[in-house]
A and B are shown apart, each in its own frame.
With several copies, the nearest count.
Chain A
C-alpha cells in the first residue's frame, strides 16, 4: 500500500484491489455523499467484507431460534451467554481460522485459539475449557501430515500456555479438504451472571482505551483474505499471517479480569479480525454513539505506520475499552502491573461518526451506520440439489466376517483413536476436568461447586453434503446426544458455518438448508443458538469443501458424581441398546470402507424419538442407575460397542438384531441411539421402563471376557483391536505410513 494520505481518493480500481465490487463501491460513495479516501476505503472494505458484515448469511441466520429460559445473551455480542443457576453464567463461542491455518498451520491455529478466548473473556468470563473441530484432507495427500502436526502443536501450545484445558473436539479426514482445511476453535468461560460485560459504548465523553500488545503491520487485510477464495497464487499473500503470543494473552486475560472486578469498564471489545476498525465501529454503532481516535497515541511496534495500516492491522492480544471517566489511573495501574501497554487513544462522542486523526490531520470521518447496520445484505439465489434416495442395505456389500470389518473400521483414519492429538493438549489444568477427552462429551466441573458442564463439538459433513437439511439436523442432534450420554442436560449451542462460495447457488442452498435443519432440531430439542461464526469461500480452484456446519454444545450436570462415560465399568454385565434399529447403511463408514464411496440419503433424524430416547437415558444417569453410556454414531452399533470395550478393557458378546442383514445391524448409522451398561438386575428393569414409555430397547451385548465375541466367528481379542485403534495416528504422524 502506498503511504496513506487523505489526498488519495478511492476509485473503482482501488476498491477492486480491496476486493470490493463496483456496485458496492458505488453504494459506498452514494451513502457517504463523496468518494472515500484510501484510509476510509480500507475501513469500509473490511467492514463490508463477508467476515465482518455477514452479508450473505444474515438473512438465513435470522431464522435460527436464539431465545430460551436459560439464554442471557444470544447472538450479536462477542459470545453467547447462558444461565446455569446459582449466579453462574457460561459464555461460549466457536470460530474458524481456516485460511490462516492452511498457510501457516502452527501460527494460524494458535492465533485462532487466542482469538476465540478473547471473545469469551472480553465478556467477563474466565475461560474454563477449549475444544476444536478439525477437518483435514486425505491422509495420503502430500500436505496433510504437515498440516496436522502444525495445527495440533499450535492449538496445544497456545491453550497450554494459557492454562486453559483443551478438553474435546473432533477430527475428520476427507479429500474435499485437501486444499482448504478447517480449524474451528471453541472456548467456554465461566462468569458471574450479574457481571457480564458488553460491547455497546453508549454515552459521549468517555475515554477510549487501548490495552494489550503493540500494533504492528500484522495480517493487514486478513479479514478480506478470510472472505476470499483460494487460488494457487494465495501463497503470495503470506505476510498476512500473524504470530501468536500466548504469554501476552495470558497477561491480558488476568489484567482484564482484575479490572472487571472493579466498577470501571463501560464497554469492552476484543480486537480480532479487522482489529481497531471493527472494534471501534462495533462499539460505537451498538451504543448509538460516535468515536474519535487520535492514532498518534496507539502503541506501535513498528516505525512509520500509517493510519491505514493501524486501522487494518490484525496484531493479536489487544483489547479496546471504554472506561468510566476517572477510572483511567486505576486501570492503568492494573495493566502496567501485568506489563501490558495501556493508552487512552480517544473518546466517545454523540456524533454517530468514526473520526480519526493522525499527525494533526483528519484522516477519516465516517458515519458508523454505513459501516455496521447499513452494510450491504444479500439474499443470494439458491439452487438446492435433489436429495438422494435411500440405499437399501442389500445394495451395500457385506463383509465376509463382521469381526474383520470391525478391525478394518476401528483401525481406519476415520475411527482411529485421537489420543495422539489430545495428549498434546493439557486437558487437566485448572483441576476441574471430570471427564477427559475420549468420551462422548467432556465434563468440566464449575470450580468450587458440585455441578459441571458437558461440552462437545459435532457435525458429519458427508451427511450434510448428501442432504444439508438432514445433515444440519443431525449435527445439532448429535451434540445433544453426546451431552445426554454424559448425563448432561443440553442447554444451548454455538455454531461455525464452514461453506464454499455463497455466490454459487448450489453452495448457498447448502448453507440455507443446513440452517433450516439446524433450526428445526434446535426448536424440537429446546436447544437455542446463542453464538456462532460463518466462514464462506472455503474453496480451492473452484472446488468447495464439504458443507460443514460445526456445532458446539453445552449442557449442565447438576451433580458431578452422576456422570457417564463410554468405558464399561466393573459392575456392567449387560449392554442395552436404546433406540430403533433399521440398518441404515447409506452414507455410513461401512459403505465407504466397502465401496470407497458414500452414497444415498443420510440416516434421518426423528426429533421426537430423539428427545424421548435421550430424556430416558439421561434419567438413568441422573438416577445413578448407570455410569456407562455411549451414543451410536460413525461406524454403528458394533463399533460403538467395541469402543466401550476398549475404553473399559472388558470384552463382550454381541447379539445382533436378527431381523436385519448382519452388516446393516452391525454398522448401520441410524440416529438417536444409545448403548447403556447395566447390571443384570437393572437391565431387566430398564427394559420394562423403556417398554412402558414406548421406547425401543433390547439387550445387545453380554459383558465379559477379553474379546469381542460375534456369533459364529473367531472372537476379536481386545489387545489386538486396541493396538490397531491406538496405532494408526502415531504411525501415520511418524511418516511410517
Chain B
C-alpha cells in the first residue's frame, strides 16, 4: 500500500523557509505570489491488512516520529 503524508507548520508558527522562498520568488519577478509555506512530504510504502489498519498505523507513525505536534500538523492520504 502507498501513502502520502504531508507535514506542515501550524498556523502562526514562524516559517523562515516559506518566507525566504516567497522573497526569492518576488525578486525573480513572480509578483503574484502572496504567501508561501513550506512543509515535508513523506511517501511510505507499507504492508497492512487493510486500509483501516494502514491508516491507524500511519497515524501512529506521525504522532510518534514524523511530525512534532508542538509546531506541526500532519495529514495522511492513502494512494
Contacts and interface: CB of A to CB of B under 8 A. Distances in A.
Interface in A204-220: 213, 216-218
Contacts of A238: 69-71
A315 interface: yes
A243 B16 contact: yes
B57 to A, nearest CB: 20
A247 interface: yes
B14 A239 contact: no
A563 B24 CA distance: 44
B13 interface: yes
A218 B10 CA distance: 12
Interface in A231-273: 238-239, 241-243, 245, 247-248
Given A239-B10, A735-B24, A735-B27, A248 B16 contact: yes
Interface SS majority for chain B: loop
Instruction: Choose among B9, B12, B14, B20 the residue with the greatest number of A CB atoms under 10 Å from its CB.
Output: B14
B68 interface: yes
Contact of B12 (A107, A213, A302): A302
A726 interface: no
B68 A243 contact: no
Nearest to A241: B70
Interface string B16-44: 10001001100100000000000000000
A104 B16 contact: no
Nearest to B10: A239
B12 A216 contact: yes
Contacts of A243: 9, 13-16, 71
Interface in A680-737: 735
Contacts of A107: 71
Contact of A241 (B15, B23, B24, B71): B71
Contacts of A301: 14
A558 B71 CA distance: 48
A242 B14 CA distance: 8
B66 to A, nearest CB: 13
Interface residues of A, number: 21
A316 B70 CA distance: 17
Contact of B14 (A103, A315, A339): A315
Contacts, number: 42
A114 to B, nearest CB: 12
Interface size class of B (residues with CB under 8 A): 10 to 19
Contacts of B70: 103-104, 238-239, 241
A242 B12 CA distance: 10
Interface in A181-238: 213, 216-218, 238
Contacts of B9: 243
A315 B12 CA distance: 11
Contacts of A315: 14
Contacts of B69: 238
Nearest to B24: A735
Contacts of B68: 104
Contacts of A218: 12-14
A104 B14 contact: no
A103 B9 CA distance: 16
Contacts of A302: 12
Interface in A619-647: none
A241 B70 CA distance: 7
Contacts of B16: 243, 245, 247-248
Contacts of B20: 247
Residue among B15, B16, B24 with max Cβ neighbours from chain A (10 Å): B16
A47 B18 CA distance: 34
B56 to A, nearest CB: 21
Contacts of B12: 216-218, 239, 302
A248 B20 CA distance: 10
Interface string B60-74: 000000001111000
A483 B50 CA distance: 63
Contacts of B15: 243
Contacts of A245: 14, 16
A104 B12 CA distance: 16
Contact of A216 (B14, B23, B24, B27): B14
Contacts of B23: 339, 735
Nearest to B13: A243
Contacts of A247: 16, 20
Interface centre among A103, A217, A243, A339 (most CB of B within 10 A): A243
A357 B33 CA distance: 34
A247 B19 CA distance: 11
A506 B51 CA distance: 56
A107 B70 CA distance: 10
Contacts of B10: 239
- The listed residue with most A CB atoms (<10 A of its CB), out of B12, B15, B24, B70, is B70
Interface string A121-132: 000000000000
Nearest to B9: A243
A315 B16 CA distance: 12
Contacts of A241: 70-71
B16 to A, nearest CB: 4
A218 B14 CA distance: 8
A247 B14 CA distance: 13
A104 B10 CA distance: 14
Nearest to A245: B16
Contacts of B24: 735
Nearest to B15: A243
B47 to A, nearest CB: 18
Interface in A652-682: none
A100 to B, nearest CB: 10
Contacts of A316: 14
Nearest to A240: B70
B5 to A, nearest CB: 19
A101 to B, nearest CB: 12
Nearest to A315: B14
5 contacts: A217-B12, A239-B70, A243-B9, A243-B14, A243-B16
| For the complex of A and B, 5 pairs with smallest distance between CB atoms | A245-B16, A238-B70, A243-B14, A104-B70, A241-B70
Given A218-B14, A238-B71, A245-B14, 5 more contacts: A104-B70, A104-B71, A238-B70, A239-B70, A242-B14
